[in-house]
Structure 1
């Protein structure tokens, strides 16, 4: 048994070193070609100088973009029209499955629910905190504490909240903070939070909101501080106070930033994977599009259905990215 284990370990180590060597060779080739191009561009003069400079500056980025994004995207779209082993052309059957299968429909509906709730709540809380924290002393300390969850990965945040939602049967010592709190408030038999559908979806959204509120607060706080003092002083002279100041001056002045924050959090939410995978694995009615895509591709080994879900996910993200780009261009033109 020990000898067999040693053979397996030796084989694994050999494969690892082989792959590491191949990766090193590829990097050396890439940097070697880049170095040759840089040297050639540095020595070029006359008409060749400008074209070579453009190639040097844009060439590596375009190559990496093509290899890392464009080619995989085209291949994913191609595979979405084929069977699980990519040998039989199915046309649009994988997309039909995505919109008619019960589990896939659940994932789509849950994803839509996440998009409609989590980004709006996170952005609203961030805006509220931005307005409140800017009016107190030592605001940098409070902002750092609120922003801190943003520095934690979604997996780490999920593990933290897993202890909050932990459930023990009545009569046993409760290790879950939420269960203990509701028991102290008089609820003698709280439910198993993560198993309770549809409540579990909203509890998982709390993790996303907790993580993204700090980001929204910091960006919106910067936007509020960028409002010219002359506008604020003029509004105060005209009698604007409190909510009138907020709705008539502050919010309209930071409208574009507010939309950018909202759409950015929407994109993050649409690609949601880590929280679901860590907390439930997509079980108990919590499946979302990104996790279902992973499960179909790497658990069920059905590249056709997984690719179709990936294309649907890409189609959902694309309009949000395009809208952000258009909005930023308008802002630059105004300035």
Structure 2
């Protein structure tokens, strides 16, 4: 009887929450409908300002609510103590810049920021050039791009099984360990525990996921190179590596920069792979995961907010550089 009552109460509570959610959605749609109807009926000098307000207003509101306001609050909280009850100035930033463990986190993040994007972009460029010379290239591109359809959590779980290591007396189930045994390495290490090798093995997961993205974008850029440019270079004697380095790369330079900076931004925010595979242990901690750990495991909101601000400041130059490069290319067209 008691169980039935609890079940009925849970169903009623769920129904009420679902009704509230549907009501909120319906109200939002109704407001949009009224606004669009008003914009359609407007005439004269009010027509253009109202149209701008209708189309830009919701986006600006969502931008303020979802980005600007949380950013301001995060910066504000970074100057307070763990439970946000006392103003402590820049002590959290001093902690982030002087603590040895955070230095290791920053070093790991810097390694990720340099190695993973460069490897993914370079590998994507090589694959783009190779696939262009093959028949049925759409099939190969789809297979290479497929890891992009896998979430980073799923990719972490897949590669965790690849790196699985057991005692030499047991049958190996990890692909890498079994491959090492097949090649004569009788006692392969526990890959995830081996520092600093484990950092590079985790980067390989990010490279595996992002290479398909780099390949598809760079392949499209290579196809967009005018045939007359390539033919003129060949008539001037450019062949092979020379043609690639002095013609192809300059023609797709902006696309290369966009791909590289995009992968760098994704890498800076790398959280899922670390969280799934090591939890930040064994010397693999990075800035995004440390931010989560400080905020939601150690409940130190001040330090977590400080790391979030540092992460935001690290992303800003990449985004700014990307925008500048795109504007330069538009100016040269």
TM-score range, shorter chain: over 0.9
Matched, 1:248 2:246: yes
Matched, 1:88 2:86: yes
- Hey, what's the Cα distance between the residues in 2 that align with 1:14 and 1:270? 44
Residues 287 and 28 from structure 1, CA distance in 2 versus in 1: closer, same or farther, beyond 3 angstroms? Answer: same
Q: Which moved more, 1:38-47 or 1:283-292?
A: 38-47
Match of 1:136 in 2: 134
SS state at 1:329 partner: helix
Match of 2:70 in 1: 72
TM-superposed deviation, 1:65: 0.9
Matches within 5 A, 1:192-207: 192-207=190-205
- Hey, what's the Cα distance between the residues in 2 that align with 1:172 and 1:61? 58
Please, which of 122, 125, 128 is the counterpart of residue 124 of structure 1?
Answer: 122
Match of 2:262 in 1: 264
Long gaps (5+) in structure 2: none
- Hey, what's the Cα distance between the residues in 2 that align with 1:12 and 1:316? 45
Q: What is the count of residue pairs matched by the alignment?
A: 333
- Hey, what's the Cα distance between the residues in 2 that align with 1:67 and 1:274? 25
Superposed CA offset, 1:190-245 (max 9, x none): 11100111110000001000111111111111111111100111111111111110
- Hey, what's the Cα distance between the residues in 1 that align with 2:95 and 2:17? 37
Match of 2:283 in 1: 285
TM-score under structure 1 length normalisation: 0.95
- Verify the 8 A CA contact 1:34 1:60 in the aligned structure 2: no
TM-score under structure 2 length normalisation: 0.95
Q: Which moved more, 1:97-106 or 1:110-119?
A: 97-106
- Hey, what's the Cα distance between the residues in 1 that align with 2:329 and 2:236? 28
SS state at 1:301 partner: coil
Match of 2:271 in 1: 273
Residues 253 and 162 from structure 1, CA distance in 2 versus in 1: closer, same or farther, beyond 3 angstroms? Answer: same
- Hey, what's the Cα distance between the residues in 2 that align with 1:307 and 1:22? 32
Match of 2:307 in 1: 309
TM-superposed deviation, 1:101: 2.2
TM-superposed deviation, 1:3: 4.6
- Hey, what's the Cα distance between the residues in 1 that align with 2:123 and 2:172? 30
- Hey, what's the Cα distance between the residues in 2 that align with 1:10 and 1:97? 51
Superposed CA offset, 1:263-322 (max 9, x none): 000000000000001001111111111111111111112111111111111101111111
Match of 2:105 in 1: 107
Q: Which moved more, 1:18-27 or 1:29-38?
A: 18-27
Q: Which moved more, 1:311-320 or 1:32-41?
A: 32-41
Residues 155 and 57 from structure 1, CA distance in 2 versus in 1: closer, same or farther, beyond 3 angstroms? Answer: same
Please, which of 75, 94, 97 is the counterpart of residue 95 of structure 2?
Answer: 97
- Hey, what's the Cα distance between the residues in 2 that align with 1:25 and 1:85? 35
Please, which of 211, 221, 240 is the counterpart of residue 223 of structure 1?
Answer: 221
- Hey, what's the Cα distance between the residues in 1 that align with 2:305 and 2:132? 46
RMSD after superposition? 1.8
- Hey, what's the Cα distance between the residues in 2 that align with 1:13 and 1:65? 35
- Hey, what's the Cα distance between the residues in 2 that align with 1:112 and 1:18? 48
